[in-house]
Each structure stands twice: as structure tokens, then as C-alpha cells.
Amino acid sequence: MSIQDFIVQITNEAILITIVISMPSILLSLFIGVGVAIFSATTQIQEQTLSFVPKMIAVFAVLAASGPWIGSTMIRFASRCLGGFVEVMN
């Protein structure tokens, strides 16, 4: 494998891993935002912090709960990058 192929492969993996790692918090924020918007529209409460605070708390909770998974995924990717780089250079 040439170094260009390795760089393209690692770049593709990095983009995919970034999407997969960020997906739980983004989806939860989306669903909470829609729920709060529906609640705000039905009750006619127009408070700006009403949508911000629940999303912030939920995203922090999801990041805390999925932290070990995120960390292990990033460590596996880093070890694959460094190990593959050594193999490509030899």
C-alpha cells in the first residue's frame, strides 16, 4: 500500500468515525429541540432558555454516558493510524 492510499483510507475513516461518534448527541438534541418547539407552540410560551437548557443537559448526559465508548473508538483509531503509518513507511 502506498502512502497516498493510506492517507486516503485514514481520512475516510476519520470522517466516518467523527460522524458516528457525534450522532447520538446530535440526534438527541434534535429530538429534544422538536419536542420543546411543539411544547412551546402549544402552550405559547416564548422563553429563549426553554429550548437551550434541556438540550444542554441532555447532550452533557449523553456525552457522559457514551464517554467510554467514544474514548475506546478514538484510541482504536489512533492505534490503527500509528500502526499503519509504521507499516507504510517500511
Task: Give the number of other Cβ atoms within 10 Å of residue 22's Cβ.
Answer: 12
**Residue 61 confidence (pLDDT) above 90:** yes
Residue 66, C-beta contacts closer than 8 angstroms, at least 6 positions apart: 24, 25
Report how many domains make up the chain.
Answer: 1
Residue 53, C-beta contacts closer than 8 angstroms, at least 6 positions apart: none
Domain range for 16 is 3-89
CA pair distance 1, 7, nearest whole angstrom: 10
Average pLDDT of every residue of the chain: 90
46 pLDDT band (50/70/90 cuts)? confident
Q: What one-character DSSP code corresponds to residue 45?
A: -
69 pLDDT band (50/70/90 cuts)? very high
**Residue 14 confidence (pLDDT) above 80:** yes
Q: Which residue has the higher pLDDT, 13 or 85?
A: 13
CA pair distance 24, 73, nearest whole angstrom: 14
